[in-house]
A and B are shown apart, each in its own frame.
Chain A
Amino acid sequence: MAVIRIEDFFYAYPPLLPEGQPIEVLHGVNLSVERGEFLAIMGPTGVGKTTLCLSMNGLVPQATGGVARGHVVVLGHDTRTTPVAELATRVGIVYQDPESQLFCPTVEEEVAFGPENLGLDPAEIAERVSWALQVVGMEAYRQRSPSHLSGGQKQRLAIAASLAMLPKVLILDEPTAGLDPVGQAEVFGVIERLCRERRMTIVMVSQDAERIARFADRLAIMWQGRIVRVDAPPRIFTDQAFLEEVGLAAPQVSELAVALNRRWGTGYRFTLLEEAEEALRRDLRGGQISS
């Protein structure tokens, strides 16, 4: 069953000036995400990825205004008509810049903020806070001020705050952009656990081809306000002509596969380091034995 179903969705932001034109961003997006799936979205800057994310929790168009046509349906609820507060218990969202979504004096209060707003009883809130902090590995930081955390810790805290609402779907908009390598590894560690152990439905915008290849079930490519292709990551990452056209990078081992295929007529489609290692070792060793 599709958890998210987007059909012919058009969206334009309101004009910046009163007499101006609406700013068209999405030009007919079609996409569906299955339960328990990890779908990655890649695309150059300015093609509408963030706008699409915001349409899935109703902020577009409910908070942004503008003109919307078509449908974004999440767990059976149309996000144009279902109140944002109600959607927030079903769809968690984590933004690119964690600073913009953290505002409480302590880590614990940050995570409790959402459940408190639902009017839950204190025991239930405490339980959710403990659980969410444990999932992201931040129990030790309960009393810390969010402003004293590293980038990776801030982003894990933002994920915990979303999880405390017990959403069925988690949307992450470039959650590792701007993080250092340690922070990136921390955040991907949490995301991997959520999808592998908890079968959470995850939609993640990212430019990290190597990690998308490792974790995502499917990859959607966004280009000029549309989803132009949805496919298994290895099929997209070894289609060099397509990647060149949309201006995106593949993992280095996928670029290598394309180059070796051109020279040796092989049919390699590596996306993971281990795959490339195994195939190339077999190739080089096989030759040594036969010679």
Chain B
Amino acid sequence: MNIQPCIRTEGLIYRYEPGYPALNGIDLEIPEHAYLGIIGQNGSGKTTLVKHFNGLLKPTAGEVWVYGRATSSRPVSELARTVGYVFQNPDHQIFGATTREEISFGPRNLGLSEAEVEERTEEALAAFDLEAYAELPPAVLGFGLRRKVSVAAVYAMRPPILILDEPTSGLDWRSARELMALVDRLHAQGHTIILISHDMRLIAQHTQQTLVLQEGRVLLYGSTREVFQQHEVLQQAQITPPQINQLASRLADCGLPQDVLTVAEFCQAYNRLKEARE
């Protein structure tokens, strides 16, 4: 592959306080235009790692490069143009009086002209289907809509890299599905997407690469398809693959392929087996 990494880490160690490090030597290359899922138990270092990508945290040891430039020497405000970070709890980032104001805050802070700020704000409102709520305070919107506003506000800054920390937690299934359709679209438009989630079904369905962290180290890193075939290694991190993937694995003796990630893929494989016999 000839794709340049947009994020690279070498020997990355981070300690919140003296003692056991939250990140304990991470070497990683994330290719440009990746759709990366990060999984692992709480405390495995997922959020700590991604906070190094936008410079919110600086390495205790080792180095992180974003587009070839070390984050240690770059202010967070400058990295914000390149790496957008959507917090786990939308209420940690929402403060605007109206949805429109909330979304225009980031572009305005980039020092863009008013015309450009307005254009980006309107575009983000449209992209996230939020026009009807533009004049309402985000606080009165339901949780699912507030989450959308928080993603739209980061999107409006047009960072090439977008990090979403558990974007669907607290959302019901329909809202989660709608939000993930938007994230898929952002990826298709060329953004690099980094997604933290405990929902293996979502990771399997949407991402192309998966990183498994355990106690501050990389346990597995590869294509999502490869990672979810490593049942035994995943078990070390007490991660259970999606049910449909487990079913394919149990039916390996009947000829089911082991790299099934979705119900649709299972059906295709199963139908082929059945049709071959008829």
Give residues in A with beta carbon < 8 Å to B: 43-46, 150-151, 177-183, 185, 207, 210, 247-249, 251-253, 255-256, 259-260, 263-264, 273, 276-277, 280-281, 283-285, 287-288, 291
Contact = CB atoms under 8 A, between A and B. Distances in A.
A167 to B, nearest CB: 27
Nearest to A47: B172
20 contacts: A46-B142, A151-B42, A180-B42, A182-B238, A183-B42, A207-B172, A210-B243, A248-B172, A251-B243, A252-B242, A252-B247, A256-B244, A256-B247, A260-B267, A273-B246, A273-B247, A276-B247, A280-B254, A281-B254, A288-B277
Contacts of B143: 45-46
B173 to A, nearest CB: 4
Contacts of B254: 280-281, 284-285
A150 B43 CA distance: 9
Nearest to A257: B263
A45 B274 contact: no
Contacts of B136: none
Contact of A255 (B42, B175, B263): B263
Q: Helix, strand, loop or mixed for chain B's interface? A: helix
Interface string B34-67: 0000000111000000000000000000000000
- Ranked 4 nearest A-B pairs via Cβ: A247-B174, A44-B172, A284-B254, A249-B173
B171 interface: yes
Given A181-B239, A182-B238, A247 B173 contact: yes
Contacts of A178: 169-170
Interface string B250-278: 11011100000001101100110110010
Contacts of A151: 42
B198 A180 contact: yes
Contacts of A183: 42
Contact of A277 (B42, B200, B240, B250): B250
A283 to B, nearest CB: 8
B41 A180 contact: yes
Interface in B132-157: 142-144
A45 B142 contact: yes
Contacts of B238: 181-182, 185
Contact of A44 (B43, B173, B247): B173
A288 B170 CA distance: 46
Contact of B174 (A44, A181, A281): A44
Nearest to A264: B274
B172 A287 contact: no
Nearest to B176: A249
A262 to B, nearest CB: 9
Contacts of B264: 259
A42 to B, nearest CB: 9
B231 interface: no
B23 to A, nearest CB: 17
